């Protein structure tokens, strides 16, 4: 009989618990008073909202609405999670990127103080490298003769005044002989004049003899002067010719009377060799030059500037020359007042340092000719700027990392911008690898939105 009553109560509890979940606790109490086991109570109470029935008494106790302490545990964990989220929002404040000094250094994020600077406007003009005509010279064959020795090869460096070649010249021999002869006669006539002068003083010689000796001596002095000038016209030094003659007297088989030395007019490099040993030079139709020497430590850039830009180009203007990733600073040394009738452009010459000889004549380059400069109170490099949500920003250094700062920009050049507002001189900002800060800022704001 008791079994039958129990079955009826179970069935009733199931029906009531399913239909009215709110009274399921009352039903469980009624069944418990009847002495039913917990498993039946659990079945009678129906599954929890999650759809899974508890498997033991502990699970049952957690699902019991009367056990307020255990039922509150999940809620407390949820509250703790919410508190952590609020704390995370406080750490990742919008517009800030937290970063230690070690992280900044490890990611190569360069920083610098904002300061005033110069904005430069320029025009781009193609050009060609040429030798500096003030630093190029030829070694001329100034006398008629034959090349007897070539002492320099193509590409050799030379010093100013260094002997680079020797000529064998009859013309030179005649000029030297004339001078040396005049010098010998001058010495003899001087001795005779001085002797006649002494005799005249002692009344041992007549006045006519003295006057004759004086005239001959003076005439011979004129010959010496003319012979010296002839040597000078040939590029020879009279004192050196006389010294060479004395050396030749000691070595008769090594006469230098016909020898003519060709010397480098400037220091530089042999860039052209025009003759060989045995070549006749000096006459009409013969090669006029033996070598070409160029000092390429400075080169020229020949530019053709169109009339539309010519009014802004000034002599002395700074020029940046670019070629294959290499850059060098030069300056405008000449702006032609004449226009090319065909191209309607003017010749502009730029002087460019070339100490390592990397700028070779004949090379095509691009030149940035500075046309104007503007001083601005705050100038930042382009690498310091990023665009966030359509606005230009910089990242200002803080004690904890960086702060995003919107800025208003003004004038610009190829390398930087004028900051009109949003940044003051002296503030430290990121100037290199700022894209890393933008990426970190995006991640932080995404986590904040989540």
User: CA–CA separation, 300 vs 333, rounded Å?
Assistant: 9
**What pLDDT, on the 0 to 100 scale, is given for residue 152?**
95
Mean pLDDT, consecutive 10-residue segments, the chain of 450 residues?
Answer: 45 45 47 48 44 41 40 39 37 75 90 90 91 93 92 94 94 89 84 79 77 83 89 87 80 79 94 93 90 94 91 91 87 93 91 91 91 89 92 93 94 88 93 91 68
CA 292, 295, 300 angle in degrees (round to 5)? 105
Unique residue bearing structure tokens 């086991």: 37
| pLDDT for res 447 | 62
Query: Residue 263's pLDDT is what?
Result: 93
Q: Which pLDDT belongs to residue 348?
A: 95
Determine the pLDDT at residue 146.
94
Q: What is the pLDDT at residue 81?
A: 37
Q: What is the pLDDT at residue 67?
A: 42
Query: What separation, in Å, do the N-terminal and C-terminal C-alpha atoms of the chain show?
Result: 62
Q: For residue 29, what pLDDT is reported?
A: 52
């Amino acid at each position: 009989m008791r079994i039958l009553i129990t079955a009826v109560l179970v069935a009733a509890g199931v029906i009531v618990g399913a239909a009215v979940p709110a009274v399921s606790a009352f039903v469980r109490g009624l069944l418990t008073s009847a002495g039913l086991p917990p498993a039946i109570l659990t079945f009678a109470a129906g599954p929890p909202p999650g759809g899974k029935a508890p498997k033991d008494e502990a699970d049952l106790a957690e699902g019991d609405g009367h056990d307020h302490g255990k039922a509150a545990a999940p809620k407390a964990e949820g509250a703790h999670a919410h508190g952590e989220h609020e704390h995370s929002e406080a750490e990742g404040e919008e517009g800030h990127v937290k970063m230690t000094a070690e992280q900044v250094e490890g990611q190569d994020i360069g920083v610098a103080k904002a300061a005033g600077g110069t904005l430069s406007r320029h025009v781009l003009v193609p050009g060609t490298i040429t030798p500096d005509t003030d630093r190029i010279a030829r070694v001329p064959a100034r006398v008629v003769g034959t090349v007897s020795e070539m002492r320099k090869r193509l590409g050799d460096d030379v010093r100013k005044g260094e002997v680079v070649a020797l000529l064998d010249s009859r013309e030179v021999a005649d000029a030297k002989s004339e001078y040396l002869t005049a010098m010998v006669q001058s010495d003899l006539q001087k001795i005779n004049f001085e002797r006649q002068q002494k005799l005249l003083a002692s009344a041992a010689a007549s006045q006519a003899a003295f006057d004759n000796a004086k005239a001959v001596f003076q005439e011979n002095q004129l010959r010496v002067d003319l012979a010296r000038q002839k040597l000078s016209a040939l590029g020879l030094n009279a004192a050196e010719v006389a010294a060479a003659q004395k050396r030749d007297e000691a070595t008769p088989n090594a006469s230098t009377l016909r020898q003519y030395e060709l010397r480098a007019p400037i220091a530089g490099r042999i860039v052209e060799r025009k003759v060989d040993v045995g070549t006749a030079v000096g006459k009409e139709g013969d090669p006029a030059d033996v070598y070409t020497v160029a000092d390429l430590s400075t080169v020229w850039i020949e530019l053709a500037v169109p009339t539309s830009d010519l009014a802004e180009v000034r002599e002395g203007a700074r020029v940046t020359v670019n070629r294959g990733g290499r850059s060098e600073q030069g300056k405008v040394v000449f702006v032609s007042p004449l226009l090319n009738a065909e191209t309607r452009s003017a010749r502009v010459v730029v002087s460019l340092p070339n100490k390592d000889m990397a700028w070779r004549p004949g090379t095509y380059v691009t030149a940035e000719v500075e046309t104007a400069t503007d001083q601005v109170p705050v100038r930042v490099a382009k690498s310091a700027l990023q665009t966030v949500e359509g606005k230009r920003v910089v990242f200002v250094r803080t004690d904890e990392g960086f702060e995003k700062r919107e800025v208003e920009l003004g004038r610009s050049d190829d390398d930087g911008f004028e900051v009109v507002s949003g940044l003051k001189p002296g503030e430290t900002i990121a100037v290199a690898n700022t894209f890393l800060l933008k990426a970190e800022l995006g991640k932080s704001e995404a986590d904040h939105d989540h």
